[in-house]
Structures are given as C-alpha cells and as structure tokens.
A = this chain, B = another copy of it.
Amino acid sequence: MKKLINAPAAVLADALKGVAAAHPDLSVDFANRVVSRGSVTQGKVALISGGGSGHEPLHSGFVGLGMLDAACAGEIFTSPTPDQMLAAAQTVSAGAGVLYIVKNYTGDVLNFEMAAELAEAEGIAVKTVLVADDVAVEDSTWTAGRRGVGTTVLVEKIAGAAAEAGADLEAVHAIATRVSENGRSMGVALTSATLPAVGKPSFDLPEDEIEMGVGIHGEPGRKRVPLVPAAEIAEELVSSILADFDFTGAPVIAMLSGLGGTPLIELYAMYGDVAALLEQRGVTVERALVGDYITSLDMAGCSITLLRADEELLRLWDAPVSTAALRWGV
C-alpha cells in the first residue's frame, strides 16, 4: 500500500488539521471531529450531515454559506457516533432547528436517530431526511433498502440554499425530501479502494472485469461484467437509472462524480457519452457537475446522479454557495 499518510490510524485527525489550516473560515472541533462554519446565523435552520470518511469532498467539503452548517466525520467507512452528531447540533443550532441529512446505511441511520433524540431532549427541534437513491440493488452490505449516494450532494446544496433564504425547518425538510425522492444514482468500479487500515484492496476485481452498481464502500453491485468501452458503461448506468424513474418532461440536474482514482479527462470523456445518451432518451439536462464529489478513497470508476428538478429547485441550485468544494455566486 502506497499512501500519502503518516499512519493509518492518524489519517482522519491529520486531514482535519489540513482542513483547519487550508480553510480559516471554517471551525474544526478536533475532539468531536466536526467541521462547521465559523459563525452562526441566528434564526437560520442548521443543516448537518456526516458519515464515514473516505468520500471527500463529501461532507466536510460542503460546509459553508448556502450548504451545510456542519459535517461529522467518522473513521474511514465508519459511521460517526451520536455524540458527534449531537455536538454538531449544539454547535450550529441557531434557534430554528436542525436538519440531519443522512445517507441510508444502517450505522448512520441508527446513530443519527439517537442523536436526534438527544438533541430534542435538549430542546433542539430536529428533522431528518434520508437519502436512498442508489438504483443498483435493494439491501446491501451495510444497508436495508437502497444505499444513499450522490443525491446527498444535491440535497445538501438545494436544502442549504432554502435554509440560507430563511425557510423554516418544515419548509427546508420538505425541499430536502423532494430532492431525495426525485434523485437516482448508480456507479461502476474499475478497481477496489484500499483502506489505510487494511493495506490492500478491499475486494478483488480481476484486471478484465468491472463491478456494475458498486457501492461507495465497495459493496457488491448488480453484476461483474467484462471491461467494456465507456460508451457501453454509460449505456448500462443511464438505462438502469431511467428504468427506475421518469426523468423526461422536467429540467434535470446531472452529476457525474469520480470515485477518487479516475482522472478528470476520463470523467469528461464519460460525461460526453452520458450527455449524448440522455439527449437521445429525451432527458433535458439543465445543470451539470463533472468531477470528484462523492468518492471512495482511491477507487477507479464513477457514478451518475440525476435529479428531476423544477424551476424552484433550479433556482435554489443556482443560489450562491461558498464551500471548499462547491462555490459560485459569492
């Protein structure tokens, strides 16, 4: 294993030091492993997400104006604890309640539930939105139901804009739910990720095969197939997503996210094929993101996320955002 780290057990703590050093506008609580905005806006609904580390920029890269108020970082591929999630709520709660944005993994779901109870006991109103957008499989290694993946980024951006504009907890929760329900994703792995603490690829994938529908922790997907040209991979991913949900007749926000180990030139090449397919199928992409947004350490591959939007969601998408990984309008 060749990694740019000091020790497998130190990666997260070291990375948090780097986040603090690179982004003086953010506040890092090293004890609780919570990255939050440096200041709180009284009366604004606070958005909090979190999960296992190794998917960066998700979630800490999305903390800032117009998006998250705080992100809780678990160890790599490991849920953060309820204590961390409670600490985050205590730090950024500004009298208007907290929205927890939770990817559908059993540990995350249970821990955020417990944190919500603890926060409510302290008088902080909490609502939760669950993201379960991965069409690849029902149930998976650490998930009952569908896994939560790329739509999480879109929930954080769009609900974040609604909160910034002054919407109350019920309204922010309603917007987040609408995004969650109207987003679908699917990914493909060309290689496994290597966890620092494990030191070798976490699953074996032969040199001539790919995992179609892989999870962001390397959970098995739909099938292993021979390595085929990008256009065929795009066809499989796009067809699977469109078979699950109707994306015609509405403006669509599309995200093609690398999984961490695939160069940007390949992601753009892949997006060219995806965009052409979507056009053929009558899907109108109004906004597109191409790059590393939800990753799996150094895994090679990508995921596609589509959101059936509308004028309001597009307007919230376009609203100013200022985070380490997503920034415009400000």
Contact = CB atoms under 8 A, between A and B. Distances in A.
A16 B264 CA distance: 12
Given A4-B302, A5-B266, A271-B18, A292 B290 contact: no
The quantity of this chain's copies bound in the complex is 2
Interface string A1-43: 0111111001110111111111100000000000000000000
Interface stretch (A50-58, A126-134, A135-143): A50-58
Chain A at the B interface: SS class: mixed
A47 interface: no
Given A3-B190, A302-B4, A265 B229 contact: no
Contact of A288 (B21, B54, B273, B295): B21
B327 A275 contact: no
Interface residues of A, number: 70
A300 interface: yes
B300 A298 contact: yes
A49 interface: no
Contacts of A16: 268, 272
A95 interface: no
B229 A2 contact: no
B263 A260 contact: yes
Centre residue among A230, A265, A272, A292 by max chain B CB count within 10 A: A265
Interface of A: 2-7, 10-12, 14-23, 53-54, 56-57, 61, 76, 190-191, 207, 210, 227, 229-231, 233, 256, 260-273, 275-276, 285, 288-292, 295, 297-298, 300-302, 322, 324-325, 327-330
12 contacts: A11-B265, A11-B269, A16-B268, A16-B272, A17-B272, A17-B275, A21-B275, A22-B256, A56-B268, A262-B298, A264-B295, A291-B325
